[in-house]
């Protein structure tokens, strides 16, 4: 700690007292030394006199130096001390950020109690600033996007323009578009362009949460709230506090859960399952769906009031076939990415550019990225064989349903991978190629489902 007082007798007396309790007690008779001491040493607490100039009794110097210290290092705790104090000065000192105020002449026990409290306060401040730095670091790591959100078509330029404008506000945003058009990338882009970019971006696939865990997933739970609740759990809404929450596949949310969600969105308050106190949350809401929600409202599958709440701004991502101008840009971007990943140097020949532009890309950019990845992996030369990859391709097979014989388990293999592949195929077939529904019926997230489709080349 550091003691700053222009009276050498006071410096000696306080140092003698505090030396018995604290390892390092520095002293100086002028506040002009403070900056240098702080640059050279780690100081937790400063005991600071308020008047230094001859005849000064207002305490203004103390306030001036207090402000300078906190500006230099906000984690330092300052205790002010003066012989000319009254209650008003004490109140003003605390308001200005001092941790306590001591009147001279001091009582030793009182001074010791105040310094002990100051050290404990300093420890809390340091812990808090460490946690804040850790959280910011974690957010940066989580917010880091693997892919850029690209597009040069007029349609995508309009999308970028809307994102830029909407990101500056706290408006609720609904992103619509077919699967693979980049809704999640768009949600990320909104978050990163907003003032919340240093805070958390928390995403949640609404289609894949089981009914029983819905509230716990969103709002958290208290230990013992239900059989499996072994510990308190923080829900996604609370994790997203001060940041953005991205609710993907909102169209898949069952109607009874829509009411629960609406109520949380209206009040911006949540109560963990098994808890009694509600928690205020400050979140930017971004939702996405590949369903036509207006039609879902007409068919009674989606609440109109929820739709009105979430779609203050709507961003529609056009399918890739409607923005042919983007295809080559994206193909080259992913070619570079996968060349780097697989240590290849393959390129696209001009005839293949035409093939890329004429294909209808039912799986949109996700399919394009997969086609490029496979082409890079499979090509024997330095030229990607887009044509044969498209012919034997991914996306058509995604919607090409397996034949009956595919899912018949004629042999008696119990190899897990074979069984998993058959089951995934059977689920796809049952749900007529709808990946989201198939994933849900298998208890998988869509991400996990896509990984399996990729793994088994389905
Ligand atoms: N404009 C784009 N620029 C670069 N990559 C893109 C773009 N749009 C989509 N992608 C890529 O396509 C893949 C699918 O994107 P994303 O998951 O954002 O789509 P989605 O619309 O959310 O799909 P789904 O509805 O199936 O969840 C990702 O790998 C993403 O990086």
End-to-end Cα, the chain, rounded Å: 67
Measured from CB, residues less than 6 Å from any atom of ligand 1 are 147-151, 177, 179-185, 290, 330, 365-366, 369
Domains annotated on the chain, with CATH: 2-131 (3.40.50.2300), 154-318 (3.40.50.300), 321-398 (1.10.8.60), 401-455 (1.10.10)
- Structural contact between residues 420 and 426, judged by C-beta atoms closer than 8 angstroms: no
CA distance 253 to 288: 12
302-351 pLDDT, tens per residue? 999 999 999 999 999 999 999 999 999 999 999 999 999 999 998 888 88
CA-proximal residue: ligand 1, atom 7 (nearest):
182
For tokens 């489709």, the residue is: 453
Q: How far is the CA of 163 from the centre of ligand 1 (A)?
A: 16
CA distance 186 to 184: 5
The mean predicted confidence, pLDDT, of the chain is 87
CA distance 116 to 353: 73
CA-proximal residue: ligand 1, atom 26 (nearest):
179
CA-proximal residue: ligand 1, atom 13 (nearest):
366
349-379 pLDDT, tens per residue? 888 888 889 889 988 999 999 889 988 888 8
- Taking phi over 0 as left and psi of -120 to 50 as alpha, with beta for the rest, 454 belongs to alpha
pTM: 0.68
Q: Which residue among 144, 180, 331, 368 has the greatest number of ligand 1 atoms within 8 angstroms of its CB, and so is best to mutate?
A: 180
Is the backbone peptide bond immediately before 417 cis, with ω within 30 degrees of 0? Answer: no
CA distance 448 to 359: 27
**What confidence score (pLDDT) does residue 194 get?**
96
């Amino acid at each position: 700690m550091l003691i700053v007082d222009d009276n050498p007798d006071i410096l000696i007396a306080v140092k003698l007292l505090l030396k018995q309790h604290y390892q390092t007690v520095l002293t100086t008779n002028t506040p002009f030394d403070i900056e240098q001491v702080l640059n050279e040493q780690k100081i937790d607490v400063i005991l600071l006199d308020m008047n230094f100039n001859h005849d000064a009794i207002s305490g203004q110097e103390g306030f001036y130096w207090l402000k300078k210290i906190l500006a230099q290092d906000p984690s330092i705790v300052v205790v002010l001390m003066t012989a000319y104090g009254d209650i008003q000065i004490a109140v003003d000192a605390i308001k200005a950020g001092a941790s306590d105020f001591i009147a001279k002449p001091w009582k030793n026990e009182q001074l010791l109690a105040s310094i002990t409290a100051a050290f404990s306060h300093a420890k809390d401040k340091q812990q808090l600033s460490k946690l804040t730095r850790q959280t910011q670091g974690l957010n940066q790591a989580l917010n880091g996007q693997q892919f850029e959100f690209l597009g040069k078509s007029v349609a995508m330029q309009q999308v970028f323009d809307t994102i830029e404008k909407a990101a500056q506000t706290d408006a609720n945003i609904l992103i619509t578009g077919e699967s693979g058009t980049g809704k999640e990338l768009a949600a990320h882009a909104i978050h990163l362009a907003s003032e919340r970019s240093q805070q958390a971006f928390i995403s949640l696939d609404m289609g894949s949460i089981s009914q029983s865990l819905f509230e716990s997933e969103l709002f958290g739970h208290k230990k013992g709230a239900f059989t499996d609740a072994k510990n308190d759990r923080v829900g996604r809404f609370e994790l997203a506090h001060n940041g953005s929450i991205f609710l993907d596949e909102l169209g898949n949310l069952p109607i009874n859960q829509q009411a629960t969600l609406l109520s949380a969105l209206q009040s911006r308050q949540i109560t963990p399952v098994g808890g009694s106190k509600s928690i205020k949350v400050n979140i930017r809401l971004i939702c996405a769906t590949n369903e036509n929600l207006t039609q879902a409202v007409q068919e009674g599958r989606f609440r109109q009031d929820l739709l009105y709440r979430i779609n203050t701004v709507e961003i529609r991502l056009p399918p890739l076939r409607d923005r042919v101008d983007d295809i080559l840009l994206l193909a080259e971007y992913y070619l570079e990415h996968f060349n780097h990943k697989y240590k290849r140097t393959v390129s696209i020949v001009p005839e293949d550019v035409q093939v890329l532009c004429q294909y209808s890309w039912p799986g949109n950019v996700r399919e394009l990225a997969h086609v490029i990845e496979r082409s890079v992996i499979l090509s024997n030369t330095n030229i990607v064989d887009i044509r044969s990859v498209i012919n034997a391709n991914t996306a058509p097979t995604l919607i090409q349903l397996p034949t009956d014989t595919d899912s018949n388990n004629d042999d008696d293999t119990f190899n897990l991978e074979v069984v998993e592949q058959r089951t995934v195929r059977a689920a796809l077939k049952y749900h007529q190629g709808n990946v989201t529904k198939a994933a849900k019926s298998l208890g998988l997230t869509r991400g996990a489902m896509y990984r399996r489709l990729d793994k088994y080349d389905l």
